[in-house]
Amino acid sequence: MIKHHLTPELLMSYSAGTLPEALNLVVAAHVSMCDACRAEVEGYDAVGGTLLDRDGGDGVSESCLTGALGRIRADAPVSADTTVKAADPRVPAPLAAYIGGRLEDVNWRPVGMGVKQAILATSPEATARLLYIPAGTAVPDHGHRGIEVTMVLQGAFEDEDGRFARGDVEVAAEDLQHTPVADISEDCICLAVTDAPLRFKGLLPRLAQPFLKI
Protein backbone atom coordinates (compact mmCIF):
# COMPACT_ATOMS: atom_id res chain seq x y z
CA MET A 1 0.00 0.00 0.00
CA ILE A 2 1.35 3.41 -1.01
CA LYS A 3 1.77 5.67 2.05
CA HIS A 4 3.79 8.61 0.71
CA HIS A 5 2.29 10.73 -2.07
CA LEU A 6 3.10 13.65 -4.33
CA THR A 7 2.38 17.23 -3.26
CA PRO A 8 -0.70 19.07 -4.59
CA GLU A 9 1.65 21.58 -6.23
CA LEU A 10 3.35 18.85 -8.29
CA LEU A 11 0.05 17.24 -9.22
CA MET A 12 -1.46 20.57 -10.31
CA SER A 13 1.62 21.39 -12.39
CA TYR A 14 1.47 17.92 -13.97
CA SER A 15 -2.18 18.46 -14.84
CA ALA A 16 -1.36 21.89 -16.31
CA GLY A 17 1.53 20.45 -18.35
CA THR A 18 4.12 22.86 -16.94
CA LEU A 19 6.67 20.42 -15.43
CA PRO A 20 10.09 19.69 -16.94
CA GLU A 21 10.26 16.29 -18.65
CA ALA A 22 12.13 14.57 -15.82
CA LEU A 23 9.66 15.71 -13.14
CA ASN A 24 6.79 14.89 -15.47
CA LEU A 25 8.19 11.36 -15.76
CA VAL A 26 8.36 10.66 -12.02
CA VAL A 27 4.89 12.13 -11.46
CA ALA A 28 3.44 10.03 -14.30
CA ALA A 29 5.14 6.91 -12.94
CA HIS A 30 3.68 7.45 -9.46
CA VAL A 31 0.22 8.41 -10.73
CA SER A 32 0.13 5.22 -12.82
CA MET A 33 0.44 3.21 -9.57
CA CYS A 34 -1.42 5.40 -7.07
CA ASP A 35 -5.23 5.59 -7.14
CA ALA A 36 -5.33 8.55 -4.74
CA CYS A 37 -2.95 10.76 -6.73
CA ARG A 38 -4.53 9.72 -10.03
CA ALA A 39 -7.95 10.79 -8.72
CA GLU A 40 -6.48 14.11 -7.60
CA VAL A 41 -5.00 14.72 -11.06
CA GLU A 42 -8.33 13.89 -12.67
CA GLY A 43 -9.94 16.47 -10.39
CA TYR A 44 -7.46 19.14 -11.49
CA ASP A 45 -8.02 18.14 -15.11
CA ALA A 46 -11.76 18.60 -14.67
CA VAL A 47 -11.33 22.03 -13.07
CA GLY A 48 -8.99 23.10 -15.86
CA GLY A 49 -11.43 21.91 -18.50
CA THR A 50 -14.29 23.82 -16.86
CA LEU A 51 -12.25 27.02 -16.73
CA LEU A 52 -11.35 26.69 -20.40
CA ASP A 53 -15.00 26.15 -21.31
CA ARG A 54 -16.04 29.26 -19.37
CA ASP A 55 -13.25 31.38 -20.81
CA GLY A 56 -14.42 30.91 -24.39
CA GLY A 57 -11.78 33.01 -26.14
CA ASP A 58 -11.33 34.30 -29.67
CA GLY A 59 -11.53 31.94 -32.60
CA VAL A 60 -8.40 30.96 -34.54
CA SER A 61 -7.81 30.15 -38.17
CA GLU A 62 -7.72 26.53 -39.28
CA SER A 63 -4.04 26.76 -40.23
CA CYS A 64 -3.14 28.20 -36.82
CA LEU A 65 -5.06 25.46 -35.03
CA THR A 66 -3.41 22.73 -37.14
CA GLY A 67 0.05 24.11 -36.40
CA ALA A 68 -0.63 24.37 -32.68
CA LEU A 69 -1.94 20.80 -32.48
CA GLY A 70 1.14 19.57 -34.33
CA ARG A 71 3.44 21.23 -31.80
CA ILE A 72 1.41 19.84 -28.90
CA ARG A 73 1.71 16.30 -30.27
CA ALA A 74 5.46 16.72 -30.80
CA ASP A 75 5.99 17.97 -27.24
CA ALA A 76 3.39 15.77 -25.55
CA PRO A 77 4.17 15.10 -21.86
CA VAL A 78 4.74 11.65 -20.48
CA SER A 79 1.39 9.91 -20.02
CA ALA A 80 0.34 7.99 -16.94
CA ASP A 81 -1.56 5.53 -19.18
CA THR A 82 -1.74 2.21 -17.32
CA THR A 83 -2.91 0.18 -20.33
CA VAL A 84 0.64 -0.18 -21.69
CA LYS A 85 2.09 -3.59 -20.85
CA ALA A 86 5.59 -3.31 -19.38
CA ALA A 87 8.13 -6.10 -19.91
CA ASP A 88 9.13 -5.81 -16.22
CA PRO A 89 6.34 -5.69 -13.59
CA ARG A 90 8.57 -3.50 -11.40
CA VAL A 91 8.67 -0.79 -14.09
CA PRO A 92 5.67 1.59 -14.35
CA ALA A 93 4.43 1.99 -17.92
CA PRO A 94 5.52 5.66 -18.27
CA LEU A 95 9.10 4.67 -17.37
CA ALA A 96 9.39 1.60 -19.59
CA ALA A 97 10.23 3.45 -22.81
CA TYR A 98 13.04 5.38 -21.07
CA ILE A 99 14.91 2.25 -19.96
CA GLY A 100 14.13 -0.22 -22.74
CA GLY A 101 11.61 -2.20 -20.72
CA ARG A 102 13.42 -4.17 -17.99
CA LEU A 103 15.63 -3.13 -15.09
CA GLU A 104 18.06 -5.90 -16.09
CA ASP A 105 18.65 -4.05 -19.38
CA VAL A 106 19.66 -0.78 -17.68
CA ASN A 107 23.22 0.39 -18.38
CA TRP A 108 24.24 0.83 -14.74
CA ARG A 109 27.36 2.81 -13.85
CA PRO A 110 29.05 2.51 -10.41
CA VAL A 111 29.15 5.60 -8.18
CA GLY A 112 30.82 4.03 -5.14
CA MET A 113 30.03 1.77 -2.16
CA GLY A 114 28.15 -0.61 -4.44
CA VAL A 115 25.65 2.08 -5.45
CA LYS A 116 24.96 2.35 -9.19
CA GLN A 117 23.09 4.85 -11.31
CA ALA A 118 21.77 5.32 -14.84
CA ILE A 119 20.96 8.81 -16.08
CA LEU A 120 17.91 8.89 -18.35
CA ALA A 121 17.66 11.02 -21.47
CA THR A 122 15.35 13.95 -20.71
CA SER A 123 15.25 17.69 -21.35
CA PRO A 124 17.96 19.67 -19.48
CA GLU A 125 15.72 21.56 -17.00
CA ALA A 126 15.87 18.61 -14.56
CA THR A 127 17.70 15.28 -14.33
CA ALA A 128 16.15 11.81 -14.00
CA ARG A 129 18.23 8.84 -12.90
CA LEU A 130 17.73 5.29 -11.72
CA LEU A 131 19.55 4.45 -8.50
CA TYR A 132 20.52 0.94 -7.43
CA ILE A 133 21.35 0.81 -3.70
CA PRO A 134 22.46 -2.54 -2.23
CA ALA A 135 20.52 -3.78 0.78
CA GLY A 136 21.69 -2.09 3.98
CA THR A 137 23.76 0.54 2.15
CA ALA A 138 23.52 4.24 2.99
CA VAL A 139 23.58 7.03 0.43
CA PRO A 140 25.96 9.85 1.52
CA ASP A 141 24.42 12.52 3.74
CA HIS A 142 23.18 15.37 1.56
CA GLY A 143 20.90 18.39 1.26
CA HIS A 144 19.31 20.05 -1.74
CA ARG A 145 19.65 23.21 -3.79
CA GLY A 146 16.24 22.58 -5.34
CA ILE A 147 13.70 19.77 -5.33
CA GLU A 148 14.44 16.03 -5.31
CA VAL A 149 11.59 13.59 -5.99
CA THR A 150 12.42 9.93 -5.36
CA MET A 151 10.09 7.04 -6.17
CA VAL A 152 10.78 3.47 -5.04
CA LEU A 153 10.52 0.76 -7.72
CA GLN A 154 11.92 -2.16 -5.70
CA GLY A 155 12.77 -2.69 -2.04
CA ALA A 156 12.63 0.21 0.40
CA PHE A 157 14.73 2.87 2.07
CA GLU A 158 14.52 4.81 5.29
CA ASP A 159 15.68 8.30 6.24
CA GLU A 160 14.82 11.22 8.51
CA ASP A 161 11.38 11.51 6.86
CA GLY A 162 10.34 7.87 7.37
CA ARG A 163 10.27 4.58 5.47
CA PHE A 164 9.56 4.52 1.74
CA ALA A 165 8.58 1.29 -0.06
CA ARG A 166 7.49 0.39 -3.60
CA GLY A 167 5.35 3.13 -5.14
CA ASP A 168 6.09 5.65 -2.37
CA VAL A 169 7.58 9.03 -3.28
CA GLU A 170 9.72 11.31 -1.15
CA VAL A 171 9.57 14.99 -2.10
CA ALA A 172 12.69 16.59 -0.62
CA ALA A 173 13.01 20.38 -0.64
CA GLU A 174 15.93 22.62 0.30
CA ASP A 175 15.20 22.33 4.03
CA LEU A 176 15.76 18.55 4.18
CA GLN A 177 19.17 17.10 5.05
CA HIS A 178 19.03 13.30 4.97
CA THR A 179 20.92 10.03 4.72
CA PRO A 180 18.77 7.42 2.93
CA VAL A 181 19.56 3.80 3.88
CA ALA A 182 18.31 0.84 1.82
CA ASP A 183 16.30 -1.73 3.76
CA ILE A 184 18.38 -4.77 4.73
CA SER A 185 15.85 -7.20 3.25
CA GLU A 186 16.32 -6.33 -0.44
CA ASP A 187 18.35 -4.17 -2.84
CA CYS A 188 16.57 -0.86 -3.42
CA ILE A 189 15.96 0.58 -6.89
CA CYS A 190 14.58 4.11 -7.21
CA LEU A 191 13.71 6.68 -9.83
CA ALA A 192 15.16 9.99 -8.59
CA VAL A 193 14.65 13.41 -10.18
CA THR A 194 16.47 16.63 -9.26
CA ASP A 195 16.25 20.13 -10.70
CA ALA A 196 19.51 21.31 -9.10
CA PRO A 197 22.75 19.72 -7.82
CA LEU A 198 22.70 18.11 -4.37
CA ARG A 199 24.67 19.50 -1.41
CA PHE A 200 26.95 16.79 0.01
CA LYS A 201 28.60 17.12 3.41
CA GLY A 202 31.46 14.71 2.76
CA LEU A 203 34.57 15.69 0.79
CA LEU A 204 34.70 12.59 -1.44
CA PRO A 205 31.09 12.93 -2.67
CA ARG A 206 31.73 16.62 -3.39
CA LEU A 207 34.83 15.77 -5.41
CA ALA A 208 32.99 13.07 -7.40
CA GLN A 209 29.86 15.17 -7.93
CA PRO A 210 30.86 16.86 -11.24
CA PHE A 211 31.74 13.49 -12.80
CA LEU A 212 28.60 11.74 -11.57
CA LYS A 213 26.29 14.68 -12.50
CA ILE A 214 24.46 14.44 -9.18
- Closest by alpha carbon to 158, among 199, 122, 116, 186? 186
* d(C-alpha 120, C-alpha 80), whole Å: 18
Span 89-115, pLDDT tens digits: 999 999 998 998 889 889 999 988 899
Predicted confidence at residue 185, as pLDDT, reads 95
| H or E stretch at 123 | none
Predicted confidence at residue 53, as pLDDT, reads 56
Sorted by where each begins, the domain ranges of the chain are: 8-96, 102-212
Q: 77 pLDDT exceeds 60?
A: no
The residue ranking higher by pLDDT, 72 or 35, is: 35
* Domains 8-96 and 102-212 agree in fold: no
For the chain, report the end-to-end CA distance as a whole number of angstroms.
30
Q: 48 pLDDT exceeds 90?
A: no
Q: 59 pLDDT exceeds 90?
A: no
Q: 56 pLDDT exceeds 60?
A: no
Predicted confidence at residue 143, as pLDDT, reads 75
Model confidence, pTM = 0.80
Q: What is the mean pLDDT of residues 31-58?
A: 80
Across 31-40, 42-51, 52-61, 154-163, least confident range:
52-61
Give percent of the chain with pLDDT exceeding 90. Answer: 57
Q: 62 pLDDT exceeds 70?
A: no
Q: What is the dihedral of CA 90, 80, 143, 203, to 10 degrees?
A: 50
Across 44-48, 82-86, 158-162, 167-171, least confident range:
82-86
Q: 83 pLDDT exceeds 50?
A: no
* d(C-alpha 190, C-alpha 201), whole Å: 22
Span 162-204, pLDDT tens digits: 999 999 999 988 787 888 999 999 999 999 999 887 666 665 6
> What kind of fold does domain 8-96 have according to CATH?
Arc Repressor Mutant, subunit A (1.10.10)
* d(C-alpha 97, C-alpha 53), whole Å: 34
Provide the mean pLDDT of the chain.
Answer: 82
Predicted confidence at residue 82, as pLDDT, reads 47
CATH code for the structural domain at 102-212: 2.60.120.10
CA distances from 38 to 7, 11, 76, 168 (A): 12, 9, 18, 14
Q: What is the mean pLDDT of residues 40-59?
A: 72
